[in-house]
Amino acid sequence: MTKPIIAVVGNGMVGHRFIEEMAGCSDFELLVFAEEPRLAYDRVQLTRYFDSGNADDLALAHPKDYQQQGVISHLSTRVLSIDTTEQTLTCSDGQQYAYHTLVLATGSYPFVPPIPGRDQAHIHPYRTIEDLQAIQHSASDSRVGVVIGGGLLGLEAANALNTLGLQTHVVEFAPRLMAVQLDDGGGTLLRQKIEQLGLTVHTDKATQSIDATPDGPCRYRLSFADGSSLDTDMVVFSAGIRPQDQLARQGQLQIGDRGGIVINDQCQTSDANVYAIGECALWQQRIFGLVAPGYQMAKVAAATIQGQQAAFSGADMSTKLKLLGVDVASIGDAHGSSPGALSYCFSDHANGLYKKIVVDDSGTKLLGAVLVGDASDYGNWLQLCLNQMPLPQPPESLLLPLQEQGGTAGSGVDALPDSAQICSCHDVSKADLIEAIDAGACDLASLKSCTKAGTGCGGCGQLVGQLLDNRLEQQGLTVDHSLCDHFPYSRTELFDILRVREIKTFDALLTQCGQGRGCEICRPAVASMLASLWNDYILDDAHVGLQDTNDRFLANMQKDGTYSVVPRVPGGEITADKLIVLGQVAKEYGLYTKITGGQRIDLFGARMEQLPAIWRRLVDAGFETGHAYGKAMRTVKSCVGSTWCRYGVQDSTAMAIRIEHRYRGIRSPHKIKLAVSGCARECAEAQSKDYGVIATDKGWNLYVGGNGGMRPRHADLFATDLDDATLITYIDRIMMFYVRTAERLQRTSVWLESLDGGLDYLKQVVIDDSLGLNAELERQMQALVDRYQCEWKTTLDDPKRLKQFQHFINSKRGDDGVRFTEERGQIRPAPIDIKELA
């Protein structure tokens, strides 16, 4: 028997979510039509494409997954028309497809105002990966860029142009940025913060024409209604969206007066067999331009199609995000337009903070809020607003958390009703989370995995963690932050114990504060902390048995049991003589060679017994260990800077070498990578590093908390226009504060996100010395710098340590099990022969 066919037109985030909601239901056959050449990707994080240039990093759907689910996808296929009577679709591939149920998830298209000159080259919308590729191409041949539109996407686009190295301007028709979400106070502070980053903001500007200027300083001139003008090489439009409803119009479905496909509470259109979800849908005269409401519509449509009772009842449009490194949040009635509404504001422009709450006329219910500069209150305030919980008295006390008060009335996860929506992206309630915890999701990772809470925009992450701890405590369980069973302390607490008591061995720490003999968690963690504090020789007798394999043999073990040899190449600068030595060593020992993204040369395939001889050659040639095997400072990537590059404004190579020489060997909770770019064109990709430095014509901009790993994160701007000495001082303080306070194996990106108060708190600690720690942090860093030693040089001078680099105690014979094959002129691990093993 033929299954009913559900045709889904559009494979954006909402269309994909509908398919996910239908997963596991085998009663239907799913057809998906996508105009773009790829399956669904994360459009919310679109700007991340510029970090890697790889569209796969944004992918939400994969062809193999769809195939396994029985979903038939048609990419680069436009649906040209709908025949709702015959229930067929005519497509650009020349085929006609029948359906029983049709789901329109066509989304929206970018609104480009009818400005004369908008159709010229180097003028782009900002909506798809193809748009970004075109923008990137134009930016390579441009000096100045203008974004028309100062809303959410406009500021994302401005960040992209700024990242691409363009002198960037934002042109907004309204009197302030993010006019829909922010009031005048919040918009003013946001503008101030953005302009501090080097962007220029123009508000109250109506663009009347874009004229080519062959003889001008740039390609085009934007003329404004007030008589002023602005020269630019490229233009990006991000002036809002319009519902993509043309297909529905052709199919004679009911359309709203101002566009949008009219739907009922079940997301059905005027034809009961046709559903519309996401930004193309008009519900009670409203278009919802955020992804969370679209996800809710997808859930309702999927449930209705499967015969279940479900209804869409609107959605909260509150939002929290980070724009150009600035925390911004808007909740509910941010403008105080409700009858009788009262507003309270707290403005601290010196520290870059703005907070506003809107309450009802009785002062007992929160109606809305605005946060700029620090959005840490967003989660709690959102729940107060959504659940109409009673406010503390007086309500303005919400704005002044530093005042000593008892428990805030109505605050905390305990006070939330079970129906409270904790995660709006995936529609996860407090009851859903409690059910998952009670079913065994007793850690944050498993709770997020089974509920998806906190895996969308991430704004609810802190609240999810609080709810988890609270529920476990209610169950009579102790929320234990101990490092492991052998120490009843967290990593931070153990670090302080080691520092204050000046403990220098694992055995002494175990005797004073622990029990048992230790384990694979605490032994390497304590070894790392001891190294971070005292910088003793990592293979000293007191530390034997603490390290993992990589540290024990001062090299990274590879999949076939061989090791990598990675000498340090500070700043990527290397002489011809040293290059020749690397080539000679690689040739003599038959090693695989590869230039890394961190501007070093990896040599792979060395057997354990070969490591000392290889390193003797390298040390004699002036190389030192690159610490590629340790949780330590790894590399400092650089461009050629002002020495060679015509765009460079500072000597980035010299600064990179200075930084690498200073922090080499510094052990930390996780690996650390740095980069120094000589100008805003960012060739060293500093904003994807733990610590990034970018030259300005006045000094250096310092970025912190970047990460290009499994969960890429753009670094946050920490300070601007620093001189050399201040730059080094700030890095000293931040790095030591991270070493002190981070959890085991916690990258700087996660550490920064988990800091209570985030970036602003870190600035207070490092710049304002709010904790009175700076002098101590600087002394501790200098002590580590002064005690630096190349671990391989020390090892080569120690006959006792050299004995460990052999496979057999009583023989110098090597490992006969290592096999290689040749590929592209170099060795690689040979495939394992299962029969031979048997």
Give me the amino acid identity at 243.
P
Q: Distance between CA atoms of 788 and 34, rounded to whole angstroms?
A: 57
φ, ψ for residue 96, nearest 5 deg:
-120, 135
Give me the amino acid identity at 236.
V
Which H or E element spans position 65? helix 63-69
pLDDT (0 to 100) of residue 544: 64
Q: Distance between CA atoms of 432 and 451, rounded to whole angstroms?
A: 7
Which H or E element spans position 153? helix 152-163
Question: CA angle 33-38-41, nearest 5°?
Answer: 100
Its sign, for the CA torsion 801, 802, 805, 809, is: negative
Q: Distance between CA atoms of 144 and 199, rounded to whole angstroms?
A: 11
Q: Is residue 630 within 8 Å of 669, Cβ to Cβ? A: no
Q: From 673, 636, 398, 629, select the one nearest 531 (Cα to Cα).
A: 629
Chain-centre distance of CA 522, in angstroms? Answer: 29
pLDDT greater than 50 at residue 403: no
Assign 709 a pLDDT band (cuts: 50, 70, 90): low
pLDDT greater than 60 at residue 407: no
φ, ψ for residue 180, nearest 5 deg:
-70, -40
Q: How far apart are the first and last CA of the chain?
A: 49
pLDDT tens column, 630-653: 899 999 999 999 999 988 999 999
Percent of the chain with pLDDT over 70: 92
Other CB atoms within 10 Å distance of the CB of residue 232: 27
Q: Distance between CA atoms of 470 and 474, rounded to whole angstroms?
A: 6
Choice between 712 and 779, residue whose per-residue pLDDT is larger: 779
User: What is the 8-class DSSP label of residue 626?
Assistant: -
Name the pTM for this structure. Answer: 0.57
pLDDT greater than 60 at residue 710: no
pLDDT tens column, 149-160: 998 888 888 988
Q: Distance between CA atoms of 540 and 801, rounded to whole angstroms?
A: 9
Read off the tokens for 650. Answer: 């500072």
Q: Is residue 354 within 8 Å of 348, Cβ to Cβ? A: yes
In 514-570, which residue ranges form alpha helices assigned H by DSSP? Answer: 522-534, 549-552
Lowest-confidence range among 16-30, 122-136, 397-411, 472-486? 397-411
Which H or E element spans position 638? strand 633-638
* 3-class DSSP state of 316: coil
Full DSSP string of 334-366: TT--STT-EEEEEEETTTTEEEEEEE-TTS-SE
pLDDT greater than 50 at residue 838: no
pLDDT tens column, 196-250: 888 999 999 999 999 999 888 999 999 999 999 999 999 999 988 899 999 999 9
